[in-house]
């Protein structure tokens, strides 16, 4: 995510003090080196997130907080290990009388999640292989509400409400173009395997993540921590295939696409892509995640400037060249 909108709401420029509403993405009670308690937060709004510390914490004075709650904070922005960090000076929970605009707190997908889901589901009716079509529709239907609402990640790419449907839909749009090009060169390419693999590749994010009422992931589930969405997704396909009577080989091909879609073991895939359709799904997934990260970061960078190093992108600096920007557009996204 980019830089929080809250950080631009400066109430004391000399003290670098800001104030505003945000959502608690995570919170932990910790001890400092002297044994005193403090709260370690990750807080976010629709534009970004930041680590925040509430030092000298006393529950009787400050109250208790949980992931998913909306809070109002006043804090001082500091730099710690080359990253912005917020020292919380005042904190309280949101009340009904605050009349907070939730669209400023919770990012929404550019396209309605219901529409995205419908297009994914309807597209399966174009598959030529009815077994693959039935399996894909079954898994979409069984996870409909979560696909529409859930983010695609706890942090980083598409970590907003509806991010899972948006990420999957964007990948499918890209995959269609790739299939159009490569199936003309290699007629043996199975478009059904590519499209089903794209639609199902992150299906287990619906059980890997713990998501609150506002559609943001606050933690990994126990199953998500112990198994991860790749293993869980493979298990979901295997179970659905048995229930629907899908031939074992077709289910196995889809299972391999899920197993290999992160490409390499260090990113969680126990197998590399071992046939062309799996390679396409892995490539499109990586491309969509990286482009999301790049454009999200560069939205807060001046034209002609560089971002901070991005650990999620191999610790790269990113450069904003400005070509392609519509004339008259602000050089930095409003934040």
pLDDT bin (cut points 50, 70, 90) of residue 268 is confident
pLDDT bin (cut points 50, 70, 90) of residue 255 is very high
Distance, CA of 172 to chain centre: 17
User: For the residues 133-154, what does the mean pLDDT come to?
Assistant: 94
The answer on pLDDT for 307 being more than 90 is: no
Q: For the domain that residue 68 is a member of, what is the CATH number?
A: 2.40.50.140
145 and 217 inside one domain: yes
155 and 56 inside one domain: no
Q: How many domains does the chain have?
A: 2
Do residues 87 and 52 lie in contact, with contact meaning Cβ atoms separated by under 8 Å? yes
User: For the residues 9-15, what does the mean pLDDT come to?
Assistant: 86
The answer on pLDDT for 67 being more than 60 is: yes
Q: End of a domain among 100, 126, 151?
A: 100
Nearest to 176 by CA among 134, 129, 120, 137: 120
167 and 257 inside one domain: yes
Q: What is the DSSP string of 203-216?
A: TTHHHHEEE-TTS-
Locus of tokens 């669209």: 103
pLDDT, one tens digit per residue, over 108-137 is 777 788 999 999 999 999 999 999 999 999
C-alpha span between 247 and 74 (Å, rounded): 59
pLDDT, one tens digit per residue, over 182-231 is 999 999 999 999 999 999 999 999 999 988 877 778 789 999 999 999 99
71 and 121 inside one domain: no
Locus of tokens 């391999």: 256
Q: Is residue 105 part of a domain?
A: no
Query: From residue 77, how far is each of 26, 140, 282, 330 by CA, in Å?
Result: 19, 43, 39, 25
pLDDT at 159: 75
pLDDT at 333: 47
In the chain, the percentage of residues whose pLDDT exceeds 70 is 96
pTM of the model: 0.77
Q: Is residue 69 part of a domain?
A: yes
User: For the residues 39-55, what does the mean pLDDT come to?
Assistant: 90
Q: For the domain that residue 117 is a member of, what is the CATH number?
A: 1.10.3210
Domain span at residue 199? 113-293
Q: End of a domain among 69, 100, 131?
A: 100
Do residues 269 and 261 lie in contact, with contact meaning Cβ atoms separated by under 8 Å? yes
Q: Is residue 96 part of a domain?
A: yes
Query: From residue 94, how far is each of 15, 64, 234, 253, 279 by CA, in Å?
Result: 25, 13, 41, 49, 47
91 and 119 inside one domain: no
Q: Is residue 67 part of a domain?
A: yes
C-alpha span between 221 and 226 (Å, rounded): 9
Task: Label the pairing between strands 83-93 and 49-54.
Answer: parallel
- Which segments of the chain does DSSP mark as H helices, in order? 59-62, 113-123, 130-142, 144-149, 163-185, 191-200, 205-208, 222-226, 228-244, 248-260, 276-298
């Amino acid at each position: 995510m980019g830089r929080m909108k809250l950080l631009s709401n400066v109430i004391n420029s000399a003290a670098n003090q800001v104030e505003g509403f945000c959502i608690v993405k995570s919170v932990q009670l910790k001890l400092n080196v002297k044994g005193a308690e403090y709260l370690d937060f990750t807080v976010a709004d629709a534009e970004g997130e930041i680590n925040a510390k509430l030092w000298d914490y006393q529950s009787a004075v400050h109250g208790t907080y949980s992931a998913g709650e909306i809070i109002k904070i006043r804090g001082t922005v500091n730099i710690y290990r080359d990253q912005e960090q917020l020292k919380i000076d005042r904190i309280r929970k949101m009340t009904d009388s605050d009349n907070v605009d939730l669209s400023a707190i919770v990012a929404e997908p550019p396209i309605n999640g219901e529409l995205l889901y419908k297009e994914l589901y309807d597209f399966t009716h174009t598959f030529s292989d009815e077994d693959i079509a039935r399996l894909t529709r079954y898994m979409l239907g069984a996870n409909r509400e979560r696909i529409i609402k859930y983010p695609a990640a706890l942090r980083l790419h598409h970590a907003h409400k509806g991010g899972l449907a948006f990420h999957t839909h964007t990948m499918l749009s890209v995959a269609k173009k790739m299939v159009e090009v490569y199936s003309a060169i290699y007629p043996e390419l199975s478009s059904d395997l590519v499209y089903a693999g794209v639609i199902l590749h992150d299906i287990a994010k619906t059980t890997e993540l713990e998501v609150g009422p506002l559609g943001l992931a606050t933690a990994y589930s126990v199953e998500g921590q112990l198994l991860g969405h790749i293993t869980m997704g493979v298990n979901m396909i295997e179970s659905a295939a048995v229930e629907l009577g899908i031939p074992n080989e077709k289910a196995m091909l889809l299972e391999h696409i899920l197993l290999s879609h992160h490409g390499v073991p260090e990113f969680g895939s126990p197998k590399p892509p071992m046939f062309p359709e799996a390679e396409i799904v892995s490539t499109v997934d990586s491309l969509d995640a990286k482009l999301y990260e790049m454009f999200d970061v560069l939205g807060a960078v001046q034209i002609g400037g560089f971002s901070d190093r991005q650990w999620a992108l191999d610790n790269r600096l990113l450069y904003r060249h400005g070509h392609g920007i519509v004339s008259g557009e602000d050089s930095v996204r409003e934040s």
